[in-house]
Amino acid sequence: MAAEMGNTTTTSSSASDGNADVSATATATNSMAMFMVRHGERVDETPGAIEWAEATPTSRHFDPPLTDAGAEQAAQAAETLLAHPLGPDFGTTIYASPLARCLKTASVIAEATNKQVCVVPGLGECAAAAKRRGIMALNLLPIDEMKKLCPQMVAFDRDAPVTFEDACQWAARARAAEAAAAAIDAADGRSVDVLVVTHREGIRDVAGIHQRLPYCAIARFTARANVGTSVAKELNSKMGDASGTLVDGLDFDEWVDDDSEEEAEAGAVRWDLAELTDPSGASCMANKPTSFRF
């Protein structure tokens, strides 16, 4: 039985209304980034795997918990994020997969960074079991159990997309909306960043790489609004004096001529892998990355 969601709330930074667009944010600030953190060590990949499996219903074998070592890895990742030389600004919220190992990882990071956690089902869709069956078809933990693992959890957002790519875009839009409401602009040197806790498959897919990733690997992706000439002209018109101030209410769909597929492609947001490290901050980039378009 899937997790009960009837009594949950959604975050105030919900991007479902389309009031802020990540492409507009990336263009306005030239500094939007998405940080993806893989969860820490999972118990089924340790010597305790058999004991855990024997004590766990088969329907829950897809969702192993974090080990104590995994929690330590998450704490180290939090320290690395806090000390990052670019000083990322994640706003108020971390966005996390609903699987137990990600919830606990997000909780450790949230405690260290003083953030709340919004659970987005689609951020778990990249995991192997979810890819086979669909994230909402899995026997997810009940909401109260999720909150025990992650006391900072404020929402299981049932309105968010359930596919990984769309969930990432949704989280970026939510962060862009929060930044727009706070009137953050590029002139004061502040970045607009989003922090996601997910799975290795998701990081690999977005980065376009095929390599082993350590537990609590940290991937930083930069948003590139690859706008065409007429799209850029329309954006400049909407931006007025191009002061860099984030503008609430921009709808990227309005910028692109529906009759021009080429221009629509040109206006797509691409996420480029800029940095890949282990939880200590040491680089673990092995393969040449590619850009990923949402």
pLDDT confidence of residue 63 = 97
pLDDT confidence of residue 189 = 58
For 65-102, the DSSP string reads PBPHHHHHHHHHHHHHHHT-TT----TTEEEE-SSHHH
Report pLDDT digits (tens) over 109-144: 999 999 999 999 999 999 999 999 999 999 999 999
pLDDT confidence of residue 100 = 98
Q: In the block, which residue shows the tokens 């997790």?
A: 3
Report pLDDT digits (tens) over 145-161: 999 999 999 999 989 99
Given a cut of 50, the residues of the chain with pLDDT beneath it are 1-14, 16-19, 25-30, 186-187, 227-267, 294
pLDDT confidence of residue 292 = 52
Separation of first and last alpha carbons in the chain = 31
Coil, helix or strand for 276? strand
pLDDT confidence of residue 181 = 85
Domain 22-293 CATH (choose: 1.10.3470, 3.20.20, 3.40.50, 1.10.357): 3.40.50
Pairing of strands 192-198, 32-38: parallel
